[in-house]
Amino acid sequence: MGRYFSNIVQSISTIWTGMNITLKHLFTPSITLQYPEERWEMPERARNQLFNDIDDCIGCDQCARACPVDCIYIETEKVGEDIDLGLTSKGTKKRLKVLRFDIDMSLCCYCGLCTYPCPTECLIMTPHYEASVYDRTDLLYKYAKPWEYDDLESADASKDTDKEAATAG
């Protein structure tokens, strides 16, 4: 008989505890985020998707050397003194053609170590975090624009042809 009443008391106490929690949450504002209509604002120094402003990249390779997992692939080519590749937005002279600048974000551990040594500050970690893909190969981000050097090459080739013609003449 004692056990019977103790079970009743325990049940009432359990229901009371549960209802207390429910009531508490009934009057506190909801924190559920209606994603994707609503999004959390990222902290100021959040490390998410990397971005390289390739127009400011001088191909110095410092980022790739700092990367602990070797997921930055850079290929450059030196140009002759007579070819002007222009300046970065901060006035650094470009001396190398950046033919390849790929980052494999499937290997990246978001440590941010590559961004610190960048002399032109063109490699940054952005607050962008929605970068899921279905195919892993889509995580290889390619930033270089090798086709932009085509005009230089044709200008160089025509210079050589002119030189050859002048020598022949």
Which residues face 103 on adjacent strands?
72, 141
Asked whether position 123 contacts ligand SF4 by CB under 6 A, the answer is yes
Q: Phi/psi class of residue 110: alpha, beta or left (left: φ > 0; alpha: ψ in -120 to 50)?
A: left
* Min separation Cβ 135 and ligand SF4, Å: 20
Question: What single DSSP character describes residue 42?
Answer: P
Cβ neighbours for 166, distance < 8 A, ≥ 6 positions apart? none
Residue whose tokens read 């390289």: 52
| Closer Cβ to ligand SF4, 140 or 152, answer by number | 140
The piece of 3-11, 13-21, 101-109, 157-165 that touches ligand SF4 (CB under 6 A) is 101-109
Q: What are the structure tokens assigned to 155, written together?
A: 């200008």
Cβ neighbours for 67, distance < 8 A, ≥ 6 positions apart? 113, 114
Asked whether position 144 contacts ligand SF4 by CB under 6 A, the answer is no
The piece of 13-21, 24-32, 67-75, 150-158 that touches ligand SF4 (CB under 6 A) is 67-75
Alpha-carbon distance 167 to 164, whole Å? 5
* Min separation Cβ 94 and ligand SF4, Å: 9
| Closer Cβ to ligand SF4, 12 or 109, answer by number | 109
For the chain, state the CA radius of gyration: 30
| Closer Cβ to ligand SF4, 105 or 152, answer by number | 105
- Figure out which of the listed residues 60, 97, 144, 149 binds ligand SF4, where binding follows CB under 6 A: 60
| Contact residues for ligand SF4, defined by CB under 6 A | 50, 52, 57-63, 66-69, 71-72, 74, 103, 108-114, 117-120, 122-123
